[in-house]
Structure 1
Amino acid sequence: MSKRSIATLIAALVVGSLVTGVPDPQAEAAESRADGSPPPAGASSGLGVDLDTVTIPQLQRRMAHGSLTSSALTNAYLGRIKAVDPKINAVLRTDPTALRQAAASDARHRRGDTLGPLDGIPVLLKDNINTRDMPTTVGSLALAGSPPATDAPLVTTLRNAGAVILGKTNLSEWANFRSTKPTSGWSAVGGQTNNPFVLDRNPCGSSAGSGAALAASLSQVAIGTETDGSIVCPAGMNGVVGHKPSLGLVSPSGVAPISAEQDTAGPMARNVIDTALTLAVLSKNKTTRPGDHSSLTNDATRPGNLRGKRIGLWRLPSLGTDVDAVMSRTAEKLRTAGAEVVEVTPPYQERVSELEFPALLSEFHRDINAYLGTRKGPQNLAELIEFNRTHPAEQTCFAGQELFEQALVALPTTDPKYQAMRAELKDLSRRSIDETMTKHRLDAIAAPTNPPAWTTNCARGDNDVIPSSTPAAVAGYPSLSVPAGTVNELPIGLLLMAGDHQDAKLLSLGAAVEHRLDAWRAPRYLPTIGPDTTR
């Protein structure tokens, strides 16, 4: 993705946010809802904006005009965390310097010397991303002591862009790569994160805290990480947007790893606009400032902009008839908007699934040893396994660490058998997307991101066999989840994927799809909706 393409994309998205169906926060603050219902949980009359729906361009416009400060915005989010997070347990800790960071941004805004679209915008980080001034635990008590010596480069990039680092989010311990029967959203450090829509349901994936926090409007954006599904599944299951970038677009350094061949950090937000703006910063590309869009227009975010687009729908009936019905309604909406939707089944999926897990075991052993060597605590995987055996608090939800034990004896990455396995994986996963897109002349492949959220159950573990994320994850290609609808109060996402480094085009298409589906909804924090029918 070139600097020009991302800058053009950002400008187009900003224009689109101002001319299409994005709510005007001033109007929302001044008027009651048409149905007479109270304003949503994110509304803050003191700010004059609705935290549930306001976008970064709208916030920046207000800060530029002096009708909003980063300090007030940051205070509002800190207040939301204090008031709402006890229900969902998504935020591990807040940064004690957040208000100082916001004050520095306010000074830049007063001088007219802002650093870009994230200047003054509160951001939450998944707790496997190194921060020098806060613990980075990966959810494990083994790393709950001293913070890392330095920030991850992506954190440095966010700081240099003026973002307010608001705090750290809970995650599935060791990014869900510890037990064969894990419970997503649980860590020994943070306990269990709940799905804001229905509190006894699971938030999915290792970026569980990031997805749940955004659904509850506890930050404007969040950063997640993914090896296979851990950005997009929490986005889908919590009814927000998540983008897994092309491999290498965001620096992986300083992020606790599973596999250098698949790991990437990526942005999550409540809308595509904020997701794209955050990616532009994370990818270190020059971005367009909020006011620098007047000469650039693009139909990518306007009504009718899907006309002529070709989207391949991979239905995945294994996720159930209710999810398939959401996909049918989605396809009809896209066709009504002028898109051509064709049914597809990407090839080679069985072989990719067969090869991925043993390759990840080898890569995890190599990469986690390298990471642990930079931290205080266990210095290698064998020592980490022993730590878990001797600390009962690490076993309070599930006791197993079978994946650690299997990784310890996996083929080394220097073994020709491993190297052949990874080469075949890369080839088949890329061909599965490239050949499907070429054969059907597609702009993107679409699939359901997730089933309805299952009940959280430590004894049983997850019900997370969700194949849609795998092709792009293994290929290193971009994927994007946007809200598509609900099944019995539980959000379902639509996963879009495209070719290598087609992030800008995918985000542009995603903005158009998001606008047409109009499926975002605020959570209601229901305690339960009855028996789990997903198993």
Structure 2
Amino acid sequence: MSFEIVEATIPDIQAALDSGEMTSKGLVLMYLDRIANIDKLGLTINSVLEINPDTLFIAESLDVERAVQGPRGPMHGIPVLLKDNINTGDKMHTSAGSLALANSYATKDAFIVQKLREAGAIILGKANMTEFANFMTNNMPSGYSSRGGQVLNPYNISTPTGGSSAGSGVAVACNFCTVSVGTETSGSILNPGNLSSTIGIKPTVGLISRSGILPLSSSQDTAGPMARTVTDAVLLLNVLVGVDESDPAMGTGLGKQCADYTDFLNKDGLRGARIGIPRDYYFEELTEEQLILFNNAVDIMKQHGAVIVDPANIKTAREIKYSSVILNEFKASLNAYLSQLGPHASIRSLKDIIDFNNNHPMETLRYGQTLLVQAEYNTSGTLTEPNYIHDRALDLKLCQQDGIDAVMKEHNLDALLFPADFGARITSRAGYPSIVVPAGYTAAGVPFGVTFSARAYCEPMLIKLAYSFEQHSQFREAPSLKSFL
């Protein structure tokens, strides 16, 4: 009987690899077959942007190493897809989904890619994404890029994929890889995690290195795991965490990283945990069907010992308005990244990207580039604008001190619980961690999740809660992939 790849977890795969039932090379071939037949033919889900040309050689080499020396650890021989804004110093491009950077090669691996390779992971390829992390224009659909086209939601074609780590979430949901790495600035892991019925861990800014990742915001960006189970997401998190002295944000986590986050995979993690629900503001866009799913999730948490504080409203929720932070940081961050590309790179600045798009409008400007133009011509790139400085300070005050910190202290909470990804705006500006977990499906088959959030470096508590809820609910179902009708 052949190995069943659909919904196979990292522990499942490691057991099969150790027993000789399967090889990593065979595993890669199975994923490639699914990518060919489902992602690129048939349903044309379009979540995978590029395949690593060396992936089979890497897999076979790791099989030999396993036989001769034994596995390096849980990620040995596990195929991983990376969002297309994560540098790989190999034969793959890093383009952020853009045609302007379609021929751009990074000179070296991002820090987290180095960590993956050291752990024996197989970099299978790059995942499609919303172009420039959905900061190209105002009306671009989530999951669309000029280079890769539109990613489709495998659960319901009329439903968005969520952005901007759309390909990372959808590829995992469809079993085109074992796990993937996404990035988030404001909801870009939590949103596609919610809409693809996957686990998304958006860590504290500073827990995982951002070096070698094409940026959007120097204050909010972070990479994070996407997986089909909390266990798999945490095994991937273990590998991604590491001290990178070239990323200044990592100094905030000194002494706060854990050696092994699987220590917090506790089935009884909900018992006695105080979880607050910020009902005011964050529930206004919920449909009645989604509200039923959310309340059912809360009932499950209560049944397994959670103390629910409802409501635990965030007093600043309605004060958090438009902020100029990302607009100002984008130009400065992107230009710094582009300046570090190899000597033969033709694109060296945000202005070069805008000019390229203007010279190829049919291919690149289907939805325009209003945000790119605003960032280039309405900001200095020096972060000296008074509105930026004021907005950055206000974001921290409203989202950290007077927002999440205040409500958690007031009610002595271990975590906050948001419907879907609706808390992403406040948690992302705070730089605080969140984990989204499947919580059911609407009658139309659209996934719905709940998000656990907390203060900086509280990943251990969030992992306990997410794992316990997952184990007691088991809501996730694989998409049928037979038809969108």
| Fold in common (TM above 0.5) | yes
Q: Residues 84 and 128 of structure 2 are in contact (CA less than 8 Å); yes or no, is this contact kept in structure 1? A: yes
Measured after TM superposition, the shift of residue 332 of structure 1 is 1.1
Tell me the equivalent position of 1:143: 101
Q: Residues 312 and 341 of structure 1 are in contact (CA less than 8 Å); yes or no, is this contact kept in structure 2? A: yes
Give the 5 Å matches for 1:371-390.
371-375=337-341, 376-390=345-359
Among 360, 365, 370, the alignment partner of 2:336 is 370
The answer for unaligned runs of 5 or more in structure 1 is 1-44, 451-466, 530-535
Distance 2:369 2:197 in 1: 30
Measured after TM superposition, the shift of residue 517 of structure 1 is 2.1
Is 2:28 aligned against 1:56?
no
Tell me the equivalent position of 2:428: 473
TM-score (normalizing by structure 2)? 0.89
The answer for unaligned runs of 5 or more in structure 2 is 243-256
Distance 1:526 1:118 in 2: 30
Tell me the equivalent position of 2:391: 421
CA gap of 1:68–1:158, structure 2 versus 1, over 3 A, is same
Give the 5 Å matches for 1:93-172.
93-132=50-89, 133-172=91-130
Distance 1:324 1:468 in 2: 15
Among 429, 447, 450, the alignment partner of 1:494 is 450
Distance 1:230 1:136 in 2: 18
Distance 1:509 1:104 in 2: 38
* CA deviation map 1:444-488 (0-9, x unaligned): 1111125xxxxxxxxxxxxxxxx4211221111111101011112
Distance 2:205 2:65 in 1: 33
Tell me the equivalent position of 1:521: 477
Distance 1:257 1:125 in 2: 15
Is 2:266 aligned against 1:301?
yes
Among 416, 429, 452, the alignment partner of 1:445 is 416
Tell me the equivalent position of 1:281: 239
Q: Residues 173 and 186 of structure 1 are in contact (CA less than 8 Å); yes or no, is this contact kept in structure 2? A: yes
* CA deviation map 1:111-169 (0-9, x unaligned): 34322211100000011111122011111111111411111111111111100000111
Q: Residues 155 and 484 of structure 2 are in contact (CA less than 8 Å); yes or no, is this contact kept in structure 1? A: no
- Secondary structure in 2 matching 1:509: helix
Measured after TM superposition, the shift of residue 338 of structure 1 is 1.7
Q: 1:319 is matched by which residue type in structure 2?
A: L
Tell me the equivalent position of 2:136: 178
Distance 2:481 2:315 in 1: 40
- Secondary structure in 2 matching 1:301: coil
Distance 2:357 2:333 in 1: 19
Tell me the equivalent position of 1:410: 379
CA gap of 1:513–1:277, structure 2 versus 1, over 3 A, is same
- Secondary structure in 2 matching 1:104: helix
CA gap of 1:437–1:110, structure 2 versus 1, over 3 A, is same
TM-score (normalizing by structure 1)? 0.81
Q: Residues 238 and 260 of structure 2 are in contact (CA less than 8 Å); yes or no, is this contact kept in structure 1? A: no
Is 2:294 aligned against 1:327?
yes
Tell me the equivalent position of 2:219: 261
Is 2:268 aligned against 1:313?
no
* CA deviation map 1:50-96 (0-9, x unaligned): 33332212322332333332122122111111121122010012112
Is 2:326 aligned against 1:352?
no
Give the total of aligned pairs: 456
Q: 2:81 is matched by which residue type in structure 1?
A: L
Distance 1:83 1:287 in 2: 40
Q: Residues 48 and 126 of structure 2 are in contact (CA less than 8 Å); yes or no, is this contact kept in structure 1? A: yes
Distance 1:279 1:393 in 2: 40
Distance 1:393 1:249 in 2: 41
Distance 1:97 1:199 in 2: 33
Q: 2:292 is matched by which residue type in structure 1?
A: A
Q: Residues 80 and 181 of structure 2 are in contact (CA less than 8 Å); yes or no, is this contact kept in structure 1? A: yes
Measured after TM superposition, the shift of residue 396 of structure 1 is 5.7
Measured after TM superposition, the shift of residue 352 of structure 1 is 2.7
Q: 1:405 is matched by which residue type in structure 2?
A: V
* CA deviation map 1:241-300 (0-9, x unaligned): 1001110111111111111100001110001001001111000278669xxx9xx7x7x5
- Secondary structure in 1 matching 2:432: coil
Distance 1:194 1:72 in 2: 27
Is 2:204 aligned against 1:246?
yes
* CA deviation map 1:149-191 (0-9, x unaligned): 1111111111111000001110001110011111111111101
Tell me the equivalent position of 1:433: 404
- Give me the CA root mean square deviation: 2.0
Distance 1:526 1:109 in 2: 36
Tell me the equivalent position of 1:92: 49
Identity of aligned residues (%): 38
Distance 2:305 2:178 in 1: 32
